[in-house]
Structure 1
Amino acid sequence: MSIPDWQDTTLGTMKRAALWLITVVGEGNTFTKEDVIKAFPGVSQADRRVRDLRDFGWQIDTNREDVNLDQHKLRFIKPGDRVWEPGKGSRPGSKITHTRRREVLANDGHFCRSCGITPGETYEGSYESAQLDLARRGVKQLDGTEVVELVSECKRCRVGGAGKANDIAVFLGAVQSLGALERQALAGWVEADRREFSVVERLWADYRTLPSESRAKVRQALGLGD
């Protein structure tokens, strides 16, 4: 299906920015704020409209997500919703008030619900400090309807998890399939809203992040051969 011309001024700036990213910048390529200003001369806050695309599942990385980028560059990773199509470029109540933001952060315990990191905490293996943000998450309800809810996430998880959705019925169905002891353990984690990982689980997580050469050395040390 053909897409509109990004220079069509009858479209809103965010829609034009989405089309500009697809047709001019291209997936995987970088651009700067100056590039945005040149592409949309005389348009105030055009760079902000580019950032707004993240709320619609578009992945646009900065040096917070990609350490290979300098502070002036952004990288267009992948598109999200086709915001130029009718009904896809706006969301009712999309502006989050300060009161609502504080409420969500408090309800979520002031930590990232995806990775558990807290504001100001340094990501393991880096010098980058975490910043909490709010992400919009589509959640399919028990009656089959889907609603968009807010959840606290660090900016790294928010970008990487763009477009993620949840299904309550599927989740509860999986819970019902658990044995009694597993369900008891899960209930304890849910009640505490925390789970402490054992040493062996943390080691497994660390092992999975190793490059293949280093994984081979670990396997050899454990007597597992090649």
Structure 2
Amino acid sequence: MAQPSWQDEKIGTMKRTALWLVQEVGEGSLFTKAQLREAFPGTAQIDRRMRDLRDFEWQIDTNREDLSLGANEQRFVKMGEPVWEPGKGTRKAGTTLTAPQRRELLTRDSHMCRSCGITPGQAYSGTYEAAQLDVARRKVKLASGAIEVQPVIECNRCRVGGLGLSADLGDVLTRLGHLPEFERGILAGWVQQDARAFSELEQLWAAYRTLPADARAQVREALG
């Protein structure tokens, strides 16, 4: 099916924005907020219309997802659903989060990244970069085998690293059922507290795993 022109004002703004990205920017290319606004002069909330494309699996990165980007730069990474085609681009009920829903999700997920545990404003280890939290959408394979997309709070770094990842709830539940009663009780305590304190030994192991090969060799020498 031939694409309509992004300049066709008879189609909706979100669809025109998608076409502009495809026809003028191109996948993998950078663009700025100024370029977007120049393409759609006088269009209110054009930034939001572009963000709406993420609900249809379009990947458009800002400096929150790609730390190499400037504050006013964005990258059109990947096209998603061709929203300009008939029957496409229709938002499913509940896919857009309101501000109260976002606050509820942050509270539910303890105001921390569920992947690495960092909290908003906390500096990443060894850097002066402060973490920012946002709502990510993660595909979850349920015990029934069905796939469901569920919201989860993640930091900007983990969102980048977790793009395309999915979770297998069925596998987690199966493995849980195989745990001895003693270990099951320990896990229940961690789950209830939603936290686990790591011993000095475990922290050293985690630090060792991050070292380059030459540095790991020095650790092995020190251990004898």
TM-score of Structure 1 vs Structure 2, range by shorter chain: 0.7 to 0.9
Using the TM superposition, give the Cα deviation of residue 110 of structure 1 relative to its aligned residue in structure 2, in angstroms: 1.7
Q: Secondary structure at the match of 2:27?
A: coil
Q: Partner of 1:47 in structure 2?
A: 47
Q: Which amino acid aligns with 1:43?
A: T
TM-score (norm 1): 0.76
**Are the structure 2 counterparts of residues 68 and 141 from structure 1 closer, same or farther at C-alpha, using a change threshold of 3 Å?**
closer
Which residue matches 2:3? 4
Structure 1 residue 116: deviation in Å? 0.9
In structure 2, the residue corresponding to 1:133 is in which secondary structure? strand
CA drift at 1:117: 1.1
In 2, the alpha carbon distance for the partners of 1:209 and 1:57 equals 32
1:125-175 deviation digits (Å, cap 9, x = unpaired): 322222222233343444454444332222333454345443432321232
Are the aligned partners of 2:65 and 2:159 in contact in 1 as well (CA < 8 Å)? Answer: no
Letter in 1 for 2:28: G
Structure 1: gaps spanning 5 or more residues: none
Aligned equivalent of 1:176: 177
SS at match of 2:123: coil
- How many positions carry a matched residue from both structures? 220
Find the aligned partners of 2:191 and 2:74 in 1 and give their Cα distance: 38
Structure 1 residues 28 and 122, CA gap change in structure 2 (3 angstroms): same
Cα distance in 1 for partners of 2:206, 2:55 equals 30
Cross-structure match for 1:136:
137
Alpha-carbon distance in 2 for matches of 1:171, 1:82: 35
User: Matched residues, percent identical?
Assistant: 52
Cα distance, 1:112 vs structure 2: 1.6
Q: Which residue of 2 aligns with 1:125?
A: 126
**96 and 68 in structure 1: CA distance in 2 versus 1, 3 angstrom threshold:** closer
2:18 maps to 1:18: yes
Three-state SS of the structure 2 residue aligned to 1:183 is helix
- Is this contact kept in 2: 1:122–1:129, CA < 8 A? yes
RMSD: 3.2
What are the residue-to-residue correspondences of 1:1-226 with 2, within 5 Å?
Answer: 4-5=3-4, 7=6, 8-85=8-85, 86-210=87-211, 214-223=212-221
SS in 1 for 2:15: helix
| Shift in CA distance, 57/174, structure 1 to aligned 2, threshold 3 Å | farther
Q: What do the CA deviations read for 1:65-124 (whole angstroms, capped 9, x no partner)?
A: 433322221223334444445345412123323333332222221212122111221122
Q: Distance in 2 between matches of 1:9 and 1:78?
A: 24
Q: Secondary structure at the match of 2:154?
A: strand
Please say if residues 137 and 151 of structure 1, whose CA atoms lie closer than 8 Å, have aligned partners that are also in contact.
yes
**CA shift in 2, pair 1:64/1:105, >3 Å:** closer
Aligned CA distance change for structure 1 residues 67 and 167 (closer, same or farther; 3 Å): closer
Q: CA deviation at 1:185?
A: 3.5
